[in-house]
Amino acid sequence: MGVPYSPPQAPHHPRHHRRLTAGSLSGLRPPEARPLVLLHALGRDSTDWDTVTHGFARNWRVHALDLRGHGRSDWPGSYTLELMRDDVLGSLDVLGLATVDVIGHSMGGMVAYLLAQEHPQRVDRLVLEDVPLPQPRKRTFLTRPEGELTFDWDMVTAVRAQIDTPEPAWLERLEEVTAETLVMGGGPQSHVAQEGVAELASRIPRGRLAVVPVGHLIHEAAPQAFMDLALPFLRADPSHPTLHT
């Protein structure tokens, strides 16, 4: 599938990130292909997108990032969703990407809409996969898994606390997202409150909702259904399937 590598570090942005290309398909991409940034969920990493990267790389320059505290990125000990947002912005600057399409899953989707709120000119089209609405929710007790982890457990506790008690401005500023946005919900099998996913779509001015009832991991459990929705949306194809709004 893709060939991962870590580009040289820039002096003011010491974070590593991973870019995935499509190997033999890379030559089929037109030179004007738009960049597409993929942001993974909590406790995952850029390889989580391997089931769909190949399909995107036919038409986009795909950049799947390891967010801080995950995978091959730095584990600096300081973790907030705002810092992750700023890391993504720094990566866009290092790569020379003025405007991008973004797909974010779960926590990665929260980072994505924070980026689209703060820097709307940098995000053209946005896909949010089973992303929770930023409203307070009941906290759950966390138990560290045994063995070596591919992510920093301190990151998990810090970020989960933010997700459970988000900043009120995150909800208020959803109306500032100017990107065309597709929100995918995983249906009743997902642990994410689906009424919140629907409200997320309604609060974003150019938001629309599609439900793929396979649970939280839509791109993993139903990659074809995921691509059938995401590809025409990102292509801005008016013939894409009718979505629930």
Tokens 């974010």 correspond to 104
pLDDT at 77: 96
**pTM of the predicted model over 0.75:** yes
pLDDT at residue number 242: 39
Confidence grade of residue 243 (pLDDT, cut at 50, 70, 90): very low
Which pLDDT score, from 0 to 100, does residue 240 have? Answer: 42
In the predicted structure, residue 23 carries a pLDDT above the cut 70: no
Give the C-alpha separation, 60 to 57, whole Å: 5
H or E element, residue 61: strand 60-65
Give the confidence band of 12 by pLDDT, cuts at 50, 70, 90: very low
